[in-house]
Amino acid sequence: MMLEQPPVTQLEALAEAAEAYVRYAFGLRLELTPIEPTNVPHFVLDRYKLWRGQLGSRTLVLMGLREPRQGATADYLKHRDLVRRQLGVDLVLLLLDHVPNAVRRQMVERQVGFIAPGAQLYVPEALLDLRERAPGIAVAPADQISPTTQLLLLAILQGVALEDEHLTDIAKRFDVSIMSMSRALDELEGLQLAKARHVGRQRRLHMLSGGRELWEMVQERLQSPVCKVRIVSGGIEDPIAPLAGESALARYTMLAAPRVETRAILSVHWKGLKERLALSPAGAFDDECTEIQTWAYNPEILARDGVIDRLSLYLSVRASPDERVAQAAEELMETFEW
């Protein structure tokens, strides 16, 4: 059986998508870090890209297949066991872009753990099996809201007119698939926040509440959109990535602007941006640095004048241990116009 995998240039973006998926589905941070262990044979490192991370209290290793090939499933079992022995880690997952039904059945029968962002997470060692597209299985725990649904809610809360809009038009507007938008409406209906209107075969959005009332109903379910933060050498211009973090907070409140500017991009855009601008990790003696946040949804969708939206900003900083930032976050909400 051949496993379907993306080109190697997409593996890093796929790993970030996996982090976002697990965070929003389970509220857990994988904290993935690329590794090239010297005690793992070169033929394994040539075939797979490896990451080390955490799943709850357990250490895990994620293996991404660099190139699809016949017999990959059987080969992977041998290579997985080798990695387990050499690294002393029992939790090893295969990273997949897509899982055909036949491959999924084969892997579940053999109890092979894997993650396909946005589709399924199967970890037999932890008794986890979450399938977003499988009937009868929950998309996410009741206290979590998916990234697309959160983006939709934040748009509505900030006055974007979406009432009675066709889902296809909303999906295009937010640059997501119609399937993702359809699942978002299902999720809103399940939370009794919206009800679909049917016009012929079309589904249209109808919210049951709005404004401050809606915010009070959902704010505890909403999460910070930030998946990972990096400090890179050099600067980035407004059209590429809007201001975020303390830099955005300084635009909206009296907080002083930080020395290092913070900007935000969609997680899957990081790889391309890194290559296009030749970005590299900042060194201790770099005069100009930029902090880059990678997000679970596209920060440009709701950004205005080169700055991320107020509600996404609040969600990203409300848990800050810095009293100055926490106070500015509260000030941000006190001046928010419902």
Write out pLDDT tens, residues 123-140: 888 767 665 443 333 334
pLDDT at position 69 is 61
Band (40; pLDDT cuts 50, 70, 90): very high
Backbone phi and psi for residue 335, each to the nearest 5 degrees, phi listed first: -95, 0
Band (49; pLDDT cuts 50, 70, 90): very high
Mean pLDDT of 299-326: 93
pTM assigned to the model: 0.63
CATH class, 8-131 region = alpha beta
Mean pLDDT of 39-68: 90
Q: Do domains 8-131 and 147-218 have the same CATH topology?
A: no
Band (5; pLDDT cuts 50, 70, 90): very low
Quick check: 249 and 258 in contact, CB under 8 A?
no
Answer whether residue 32 shows pLDDT above 80. yes
Q: What is the pLDDT of residues 68-121, one digit of tens each?
A: 665 566 788 899 999 999 999 989 999 987 666 677 777 777 888 998 876 778
**147-218: what fold?**
Arc Repressor Mutant, subunit A (1.10.10)
Task: Calculate the average pLDDT of the chain.
Answer: 84
Q: What is the pLDDT of residues 172-219, one digit of tens each?
A: 999 888 888 888 888 898 888 988 787 777 788 889 989 999 999 999
Q: Where are the domains of the chain?
A: 8-131, 147-218, 226-334
pLDDT at position 245 is 96
